[in-house]
Structures are given as C-alpha cells and as structure tokens.
C-alpha cells in the first residue's frame, strides 16, 4: 500500500470543529502511531473539510489510500463529494465515545457512501492507545494489505419465519397503502448532509409512499397569523398534562423562558395546520438548518407531534422524523400502522445510535436524539405528558433559545427498523430488542456522558456491537414499544423492500 492520506471530515459550523480540535488531533496522532507500527507511512490533508467544495478540491486529486478521522459529528458530503467515482481504498476510522460521537458521523457517512455506490471500510476503537487494541490493529493491517475490512455476517439474514396472523396483518396494512398511499409532508430538504436520508418520489412511489415538499419559509410566514389565543391554549394544555419546563435553569439557559416555548408552540401549530391542509400522514422536518438563526429549535413541536397527547390533537400521534429523514419516517409510519392494527399504542420514537457499553453481560446502546421522541416513551400513558421535560437546547448548536422533549425511556419489548438505499433500491433493516432500565448511577453516567438535555433510551438491539458498527447503514433508528417484528418483516416484503433481518440466529 502506498502512503496513506489522513483527512478530517468536518461539521459545516466552525464552533463544533473548533471544540473537536483536541480530540481529532489526538486521534490523528494515534492513527499515525498505529500505521507506523504496521510499517506504513501517512500524511495529513490540511484542515477540516467543512464545505463540499473542500472535499472536491482536497480529496479529489488524491489516489493514495485515505482514512477519514471520525471523532465528532460531521456532514456526509464533506467526504463523499471528494471520493465518489474513485476506487482508492477508503477507511472511516472512529473513536467510540458518547461525548465525542465519531461513531455517529461514521455511521451516517458510511450510509451516504453506500447510497452512492462508493466502497469503503470501517474501523473503531475505544482504547486510549490505539496500538493496544488488538482487534483494531488487526483491522488496520487487513485494510493495509487488501484495501478492505471484512466482517462476519452471522447476525444478518434476509428472511424470518412469520406467523399466519402477522402475515395477514401485514397484508391488511399493505392494502391500506395501496388504496391510499401515505403522504410525507416534507418541511424543507434533508438536514446536515444526510444524503442517505432522502429517497425522493421515484423510490418512494414503489413502496406505497408519496412526498410533498413545503419550504420552511412557510413556517415563518404562517406563524405570523397564528392567533395568540391558540398559543395560550396550547401552553395551558402541555402544562396541565404534566410537561416540566426547565426555564432559566443553569448559566446556559438564562435566555430560555416561557416566551421561547410559546414560539415553539407557534411553530407546532403552523405545522399541524399544514398537515391538516395537505392531509399528510407523516412529516419530515428539516429541523435546525435553514431556520436556525430565525426560529427556535423544532424539538418541542416534533416531540408533541409524535405524541397522542398534544394540543388540538385527534388522539393519535403524527409520525414526524427530525432532519427530514425519510429513512426513518417510512418505518415510523409503517410501524405506527402495524401497532394500531394490533391494538398497541401507535407511538414510534426516532433516535440517534449515539453510543453503547456492556452492562451486566450484554451490550446496550444509548439511543438519544434531540427531536422526534414523544412522551409515551417516558410514561406509557397515551393521555399524559408526565415524565416529559423540556431543557434548553445547547447554545453552541442552537443560538435561538428553545427546548427539547426529554425523559428516561421506560423498559419494555421493542421493535426497531430503518430504511436506506443500497444498489439503487430501497432496503429495510428490521430487528427486535428490549428497552432496559439501568441503575440510577449507571444511567446518569451514560446520560451525562452524552447530551443530558435529550431523551434517553438504553436498548438491547438484539445484535452485537460489531454487527451494528460494521453493517448498519445509518446513525438513526426508528423504535416502537411492543413486538411487531414479524409484521414489520412481512409488511416490508409485501411492499417490495429488500429486507435484512438483524439479530442473533434463533
């Protein structure tokens, strides 16, 4: 193998990259030492790649093998746009940290590369000294010698036994989508370079879905005409139903007050009106980018839409995917319909696959996302918002004050899924697992080690850490309480998705 180029994929925002400099500098030194131990020479591509043109200009001319150093959140195009159309070996190498979530950036960028048919490999480590992690070093050596890293596929299948009842339920839900395809109301476009999160009408139309795009500017325009009495009533509703607002708590939240929450409720009412106007079944909301200097974060609105107990509600949640992620809104809507048909509560949560660790003999993932998790996860009561807390979103990312919908997810059986594009076709990953209640000390350590203002779910996803890190094609996952695993496999197949079943062989 020739000399190896090390590059820093970056966030589009300067501050997150600045904060990551100590971590990415240390990780780069660790990789340089690791490759040196294997007898390989490396060189650095200068600076963060924080715009697509920087990837094109800096990575495009390189024919040597390349390694993306993944230690924080970064945008997919800041890698993909410089490496598509080339076949030099490409490795995404990440830390495994909740505080510095390089693994999240790796999973998203890997999915973007897969969607664009660009081969790549993955490697990760939680070791302070990378050279002491024998498995990581073995993978680096394999990549140096062959240009790729191969992982076992023992927990991946392409079919699962499905009961007659589950198959009948899947056919019934599929027929409903054939009679009237589900309409996704898209507020803006995909967010933060998530190429893998947008499928478009050509692919959606093959599987029972349609989309309608509305510019997020409509939120500002229509918000001016929302009557104050509707906001008064919405605020009274969420307070009466038990939501806790942490206004002005802590030095970073002094600008977070009732007025900020009222503006979030204004946006909620606008989007609710839009969903009614277009008779949308579900929503993809671009979220922070685009409106971040102009409006508060959409987390409160998204969390309420994903909750049956909400202002001006009809007793059902509206599946709403943050970051306009169609890879999540599609399985969210499908699982919502299956849950309802099965007589289970139809709330579906949206999470980041943020971090994970061993606990009492099994590997648990911290699922944690700042938007699109409703209150049902925290109370299992369709008629309440108790257990739901709204904290100020961290100001580094959200200069305009506004709150989250956070809480500790209750234990219980769960089904999870994710849609994505591979080889020009839509696929669906389906798995079953369990939401786990952790001892308070462990929970708090894990929560504080990630982002405490966001909703927390500790989950056994039914697969090993290696299977997810090596094969999963997103940093997002859709999670439903209850077992609709058989139904989700059958429905995905009925609608024409190519299916991967992720789980330990039964």
What is the 3-class SS of 61-130, one letter each residue? CCCCCEEEEECCCCCCHHHHHHHCCCCCCEEEEEECCCCCCHHHHHHHHHHHHHHCCCCCEEEEECCCCH
Separation CA 412–CA 485 (nearest Å):
14
294 in the same domain as 212: yes
In a domain, residue 51? The reply is yes
Whether residue 303 is predicted with pLDDT greater than 70 in this model: the reply is yes
Beta-bridged to residue 480, according to DSSP, are: 348, 415
Tell whether 108 and 231 lie within a shared domain: no
Last residue of a domain, one of 119, 146, 173: 146
Do 232 and 107 lie in a common domain? no
Domain termination site, one of 86, 112, 146: 146
382 and 241 assigned to the same domain:
yes
pTM listed for this prediction: 0.97
State whether 219 and 312 are in the same domain.
Answer: yes
- Mean pLDDT calculated for residue range 449-455: 95
Pair 241, 320 in one domain: yes
For residue 155, is it within any domain? no
Residues 29 and 110 in one domain: yes
Segments forming the whole domain that contains residue 94: 4-146
- Based on the domain organization, do 264 and 405 belong to the same domain? yes
Tell whether 391 is covered by a domain. Answer: yes
What CATH number is associated with residue 475? 3.40.275.10
pLDDT in tens, 386-430: 999 999 999 988 999 999 999 999 999 999 999 999 999 999 999
Q: Do 77 and 10 share a domain, yes or no?
A: yes
pLDDT(288) > 80: no
Backbone phi, then psi, for 349, in 5-degree steps? Answer: -95, 155
pLDDT tier for residue 431 given thresholds of 50, 70 and 90 = very high
Evaluate whether residue 156 is within a structural domain. no
Choosing from 146, 179, 212, the residue where a domain stops is 146
| Domain count for the chain | 2
Shared-domain flag, residues 135 and 267:
no
Same domain, 186 and 328: yes
Q: Are residues 329 and 241 in the same domain?
A: yes
Cα dihedral across residues 392, 107, 475, 389: positive or negative: negative
Q: Is the pLDDT of residue 2 over 80?
A: no
Each residue of 330-383: pLDDT tens digit?
999 999 999 999 999 999 999 999 999 999 999 999 999 887 899 999 999 999
CATH number where 13 lies: 3.40.50.10940
């Amino acid at each position: 193998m020739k000399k190896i180029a090390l590059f820093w994929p970056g966030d589009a925002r300067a501050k997150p990259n600045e904060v990551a400099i100590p971590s990415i500098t240390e990780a780069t030194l660790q990789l340089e030492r690791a490759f040196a131990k294997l007898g390989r020479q490396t060189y650095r591509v200068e600076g963060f790649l924080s715009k697509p043109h920087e990837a094109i200009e800096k990575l495009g001319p390189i024919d040597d093998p390349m390694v993306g150093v993944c230690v924080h959140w970064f945008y997919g195009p800041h890698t993909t746009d410089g490496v598509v159309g080339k076949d030099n070996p490409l490795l995404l190498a990440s830390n495994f940290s909740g505080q510095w979530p390089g693994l999240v950036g790796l999973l998203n960028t890997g999915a973007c590369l897969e969607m664009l048919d660009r081969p790549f490999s993955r490697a990760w480590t939680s070791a302070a000294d990378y050279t002491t992690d024998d498995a990581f070093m073995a993978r680096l050596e394999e990549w140096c010698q062959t240009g790729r890293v191969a992982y076992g596929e023992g927990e991946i299948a392409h079919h699962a036994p499905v009961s007659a009842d589950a198959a009948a339920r899947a056919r019934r839900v599929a027929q409903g989508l054939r009679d009237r395809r589900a309409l996704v109301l898209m507020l803006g476009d995909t967010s933060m370079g998530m190429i893998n999160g947008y499928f478009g009408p050509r692919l959606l139309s093959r599987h029972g879905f349609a989309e309608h795009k509305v510019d997020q500017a409509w939120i500002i325009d229509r918000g001016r005409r929302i009557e104050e009495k509707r906001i008064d009533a919405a605020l009274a509703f969420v307070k009466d139903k038990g939501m806790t607002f942490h206004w002005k708590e802590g030095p970073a939240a002094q600008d977070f007050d009732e007025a900020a929450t009222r503006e979030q409720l204004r946006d909620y009412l606008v989007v609710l009106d839009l969903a009614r106007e277009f008779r949308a079944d579900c929503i993809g909301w671009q979220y922070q980018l685009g409106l971040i200097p102009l409006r508060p974060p959409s987390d409160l609105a998204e969390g309420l839409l994903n909750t049956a107990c909400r202002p001006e509600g009809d007793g059902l949640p509206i599946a709403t995917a943050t970051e306009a992620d169609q890879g999540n809104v599609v399985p969210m809507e499908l699982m919502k319909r299956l849950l309802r048909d099965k007589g289970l509560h139809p709330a579906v949560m949206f999470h980041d696959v943020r971090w994970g660790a061993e606990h009492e003999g099994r590997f648990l993932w911290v699922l944690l996302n700042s938007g699109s998790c409703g209150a049902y996860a925290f109370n299992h009561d369709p008629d309440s918002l108790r257990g739901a807390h709204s904290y100020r979103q961290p100001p580094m990312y959200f200069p305009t004050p506004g709150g989250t919908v956070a809480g500790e997810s209750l234990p219980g059986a769960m089904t999870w899924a994710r849609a994505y594009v591979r080889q020009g076709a839509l696929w669906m990953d389906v798995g079953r697992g369990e939401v786990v209640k952790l001892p308070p000390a462990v929970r708090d350590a894990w929560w504080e080690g990630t982002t405490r203002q966001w909703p927390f779910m500790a989950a056994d996803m039914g697969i090993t850490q290696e299977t997810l890190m090596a094969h999963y094609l997103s940093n997002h996952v859709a999670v439903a309480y209850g077992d609709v695993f058989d139904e989700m496999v059958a429905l995905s197949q009925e609608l024409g998705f190519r299916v991967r079943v992720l789980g330990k062989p039964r």
